[in-house]
Structures are given as C-alpha cells and as structure tokens.
Structure 1
Amino acid sequence: MNIFNYKKRSFQKRIAVLSIILIGGFAFWCSVYAKKLPGGIEGASFGIGAYLPALAILFVVLAIFGINKDERLIRSAERLR
C-alpha cells in the first residue's frame, strides 16, 4: 500500500514508522505467547523465521532512508527552477 503513495512522502514515513512499531509489537507478542507454551521456549528450535521480524525492520529503515533521499532530491530540483 505504501508504494502507491509516492507523492505523499511524509505519509509514507508515518506508515513506515507504524509498521516498525507493529512488527516489534507482533514479535513481542509472539515471544510472550511462546513462553506460555507447556514446554516453554527452552526446548524449541529456532529456524530462519525467528529472524524475519528483524530483517523486516531493517528493510523498513532502509525504505525510510530512501524516502529521505527522495525528499532531498525534490528540494534540490525545486531550488533549480
């Protein structure tokens, strides 16, 4: 959804920050829920899926850097007009 808002860069950044918060909240909820399981998380084996929320947050942060770069490019192009 965020990709279609390319003309609204401040809205894109707000959605990106909201998605970081939601990803972090979901990861926290999963960890709390996993501790309540009968065996707990001591006997669990973690695969690549355990690291996907961190990877998603990394990509969202990179997207925010890209949005900021676009804003700087637009401002410099407007100064040249």
Structure 2
Amino acid sequence: MIQRIQNLYLFLAIIAMALIFFFSQGWYLVGSGKFYTLTLFGLQEGGTEPFKTPMSYYNVALFLVLTLINLVWTFCSYRNLKAQRMRAVISMVFIVLYCAMDLTFVVGFYGDLPGVANFVPNIGIFLPLAALLFTGLAWRGIQRDYKLIRSVDRIR
C-alpha cells in the first residue's frame, strides 16, 4: 500500500491530524498567574477538568474526525489515481477549513476570559499545517503518477 511516495505523505498527514487529539492547542496566561489550556475538547483551567466547553467547539472536533476519515479514504484509494487526486484536494480544503475554525475559537476565547495576558501556542496548533504540507506533497506525487500514466497510454 505504501509503494508510492504520495501514500507515505498521506500516511504522515493522517498521523499529524490524529496527533491533534493528544496535544493541546495552547495556553491562555491570565494576569493572576493562572493559566487555561485549550484542548480539542474545550478550555480547561490549569489542565484539569473542562472550564468552558461551548457546544460549537465540539463541531471542530467532529470536523477533525471527518477530515481524518477523508484522509484515510484518500490513502486507501491508491488504485484509482483520478479519485485519489480529487480526494487529496478535498482533504486540503478540509484542513484549511479546520485551521480557520480552530483559529476562530482561539481568538474567540480572548473575550471570554478575564484579564488574559497572552496566548502561548502549543504543537497542536501547528499540526494541521504539517498535515496540509504533507497532503500537498501527496497531491504533487499523485499528479506526477497521473501524468506518467497518461504519457504511457499515449505511446501505446
């Protein structure tokens, strides 16, 4: 299954998106010395149980799951290059939309917390960008294979 370089890139994109479940997005440092951790499942005070978890933030987690399903589907459709190419583009759009939704919540929580000094990003905020890079590299590999197959078909 991982015979071509694009499938390796898609596998790395799947791993990068799956790691978002295990890393926090960042920390909000409050002037009183307290901090709030922003995870995929909401805002937690000092890393303990959830402090504020708006229902719409679960939509971000659901969208992440849908993005992961689409990436796995793209990874498994290695026999049909045309469909794999289309799904890779859809995956890139999903990842960009996930980044936009995530950053909306990062900025949106500023107004909800009293006396927020600053936001310190963690690795969880950068993992979608790595997944976008790997998916773009996979799309480029799929394009090269598609052009190679078309040129071989022309020779016959």
TM-score in same-fold range (> 0.5):
yes
The normalised TM-score by structure 2 is 0.46
Greater percentage in helix: 1
CA distance in 2, matches of 1:25, 1:57: 11
Amino acid paired to 1:9: L
Question: Alignment RMSD, CA only?
Answer: 2.1
Looking at structure 2, the residues matched to 3 and 12 of structure 1 have their Cα atoms a distance apart, in angstroms, of 8
Cα distance in structure 2, aligned partners of 1:13 and 1:79: 20
1:49 pairs with 2:124: yes
What's 1:25 paired with? Answer: 97
Alignment match, 2:134: 59
Paired residues, number? 81
Amino acid in the other structure paired with 1:71: Y
Does residue 1:39 correspond to 2:113, yes or no? Answer: yes
Counterpart of 2:149? 74
Partner amino acid, structure 2, of 1:60: T
TM-score between the two structures when normalised by the length of structure 1: 0.80
The percent of aligned pairs where both chains have the same amino acid is: 30
Q: Which runs of 5+ in 2 are unaligned?
A: 1-72
Unaligned runs of 5+ in 1: none
| Partner AA of 2:124 in structure 1 | G
Question: Could you tell me how far apart the structure 2 residues matched to 1:66 and 1:42 are?
Answer: 44
Q: State how far apart, in whole Å, the 1-side matches of 2:102 and 2:86 are.
A: 24
* Counterpart selection for 2:87 from 15, 19, 23: 15
Shift of 1:58: 0.8
Q: Flag the structure with higher strand content.
A: 2
Q: Offset of 1:24 from its aligned partner?
A: 0.9
Q: Secondary structure at the match of 1:6?
A: coil
Q: CA deviation at 1:46?
A: 0.7
| Structure 1: 4+ residue segments shifted above 3 A | 39-42
